[in-house]
């Protein structure tokens, strides 16, 4: 009863606030509803709409699932089959306009695409969930780059206990793809959850993870820099002109100064997805004494004939030099349907022809976050052994 009274008080308070702030304290309908059998029902209250569809990565490519009007107000769609445990994203198309689900406040941005999120729990997604395990910290930190003549933002994960102990930790530099930014790995990539969970399970060593912004034109993620709320674009010239790779040692210097790192090659890894895989390849070969573990996730792997920067010149020779110094791990993963599949095979041919040792993982699927999260889960346990 006391609880009821308190709740009534809270509601009255809410209503008062609501009348001033014009907030909606309830979502219009229950959507998405994940059923016990892992089928999912999507709902949209839209009395005047003529058509509503669901689009999302739980459907086949370009598939749109038609929603049906189940009463005068509400449109509904239920997946015909159970969905596999995974983090999914979706949107509605209402009379041809792509909209977010007004009943689901959880969303993420990928360049200019806002999608709603939902999770199907289970073995395959347990590493992506916030579990009741010790949690590391996730920080937005700025450092100064002389080469870029700008303050730039990085996202830093420090493992649980970092603030109150005196230990030193190895460091993984984890790089995003074209169109992403220093937020991508911690949002769509679920990096903090994956790290927390693998460390708690004893499968990964406690480590610091540094997520950079690989676009030299940006000081920070869209909306988080002095340029303000500028609409994101992928058409940025300074992603693969060598300037990011050229200035990368500044990040390492800052991190080794600002954090209790183990500042040597044996305790340093670099990995990235797509463009970030390309950056990881370039940076690790450019500074062969610095990184002992290298991960290329669905990497853009074209290493020959590039002229945009001195960084990209003599790539073969530099990679040979890198391998002569025997990195502990060179890990390549690509999906069978990835548009970069052939590029990766060509790169492998070069490595094979030279007898360089690397690990190769071929997965299903294409150039998607599901794969990159999965690659990270596979890669982390191999580090700093």
For a copy of itself, the binding residues in 190-219 under the rule CB under 8 A are none
Among 66, 121, 266, 352, binds a copy of itself (CB under 8 A): 121
Among 43, 148, 153, 279, binds a copy of itself (CB under 8 A): 153
Indicate whether 93 belongs to the interface with a copy of itself (CB under 8 A): no
C-beta atoms surrounding 128 within 10 Å: 22
User: Nearest approach, Cβ of 374 to a copy of itself (angstroms)?
Assistant: 16
**Per-residue buried b or exposed e for 233-269, using 16+ beta carbons within 10 Å of the residue's own CB:** eeeeeebbbbbbbbbbebbbebbeeebebbbebebbb
User: Nearest approach, Cβ of 285 to a copy of itself (angstroms)?
Assistant: 21
Number of residues that bind a copy of itself (CB under 8 A): 107
Site for a copy of itself in 163-192 (CB under 8 A): 163-164, 177-179
Cβ 117 vs Cβ 106: under 8 Å: yes
Pattern 216-235, binding to a copy of itself, x per CB under 8 A?
----x-xxxxx-xx-xxxxx
Nearest Cα residue to 34 out of 162, 153, 121, 142: 121
Indicate whether 12 belongs to the interface with a copy of itself (CB under 8 A): no
Residue among 17 and 316 whose Cβ is closer to a copy of itself: 17
3-state secondary structure 247-307: HHHHHHHHHHHHCCECCCHHHEEEEEECHHHHHHHHHHHHCCCCCCEEEEECCCCCCCCCC
Residue among 39 and 356 whose Cβ is closer to a copy of itself: 39
Cβ 57 vs Cβ 368: under 8 Å: yes
Cβ neighbors of 302 (< 8 A, separation 6 or more) are: 278, 343, 346, 347
User: Could you give phi then psi for residue 333, rounded to 5 degrees?
Assistant: -130, 140
Helix (H) or strand (E) run with residue 225 in it: none
Among 78, 84, 85, 102, binds a copy of itself (CB under 8 A): 102
User: Nearest approach, Cβ of 74 to a copy of itself (angstroms)?
Assistant: 11
Q: Residue 89 forms beta bridges with which residues?
A: 117
Among 257, 264, 310, 336, binds a copy of itself (CB under 8 A): 257
Among 109, 148, 285, 318, binds a copy of itself (CB under 8 A): 109
Terminal-to-terminal C-alpha distance of the chain: 56
User: Nearest approach, Cβ of 142 to a copy of itself (angstroms)?
Assistant: 4
User: Nearest approach, Cβ of 200 to a copy of itself (angstroms)?
Assistant: 12
Indicate whether 10 belongs to the interface with a copy of itself (CB under 8 A): yes
Indicate whether 25 belongs to the interface with a copy of itself (CB under 8 A): yes
């Amino acid at each position: 009863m006391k609880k009821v009274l308190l709740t009534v008080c809270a509601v009255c308070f809410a209503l008062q606030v609501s009348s001033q702030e014009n907030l909606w304290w309830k979502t219009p309908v229950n959507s998405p509803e994940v059923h016990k059998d892992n089928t999912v029902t999507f709902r949209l209250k839209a009395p005047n709409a003529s058509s509503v569809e669901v689009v999302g990565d739980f459907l086949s490519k370009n598939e749109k699932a038609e929603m049906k009007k189940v009463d005068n107000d509400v449109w509904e769609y239920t997946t015909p089959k159970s969905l596999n445990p995974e983090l999914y994203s979706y949107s509605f198309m209402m009379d041809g306009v792509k909209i977010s689900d007004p009943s689901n406040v959880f969303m993420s941005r990928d360049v200019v695409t806002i999608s709603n999120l939902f999770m199907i729990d289970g073995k395959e997604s347990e590493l992506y969930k916030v579990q009741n395990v010790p949690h590391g910290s996730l920080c937005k930190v700025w450092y100064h780059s002389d080469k870029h003549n700008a303050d730039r933002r990085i996202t830093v994960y420090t493992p649980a206990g970092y603030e109150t102990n005196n230990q030193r930790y190895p460091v993984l530099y984890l790089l995003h793809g074209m169109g992403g930014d220093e937020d991508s790995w911690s949002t769509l990539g679920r990096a903090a959850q994956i790290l927390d969970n693998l460390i708690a399970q004893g499968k990964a060593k406690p480590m610091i993870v540094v997520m950079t912004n690989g676009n030299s034109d940006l000081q920070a993620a869209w909306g988080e820099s002095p340029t303000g709320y500028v609409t994101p674009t992928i058409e940025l010239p300074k992603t693969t002109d060598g300037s990011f790779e050229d200035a990368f040692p500044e990040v390492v210097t800052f991190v080794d100064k600002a954090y209790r790192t183990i500042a040597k090659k044996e305790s340093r890894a670099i990995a990235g997805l797509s463009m970030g895989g390309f950056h990881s390849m370039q940076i690790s070969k450019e500074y062969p004494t610095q990184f002992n573990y290298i991960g290329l996730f669905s990497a853009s792997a074209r290493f020959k004939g590039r002229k945009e920067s001195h960084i990209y010149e003599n790539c073969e020779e530099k990679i040979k030099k890198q391998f002569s110094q025997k990195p502990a791990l060179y890990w390549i993963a690509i999906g069978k349907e990835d548009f970069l599949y052939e590029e990766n095979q060509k790169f492998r041919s070069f490595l094979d022809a030279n007898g360089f040792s690397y690990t190769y993982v071929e997965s299903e699927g294409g150039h998607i976050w599901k794969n990159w999260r999965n690659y990270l889960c596979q890669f982390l346990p191999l580090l700093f052994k």
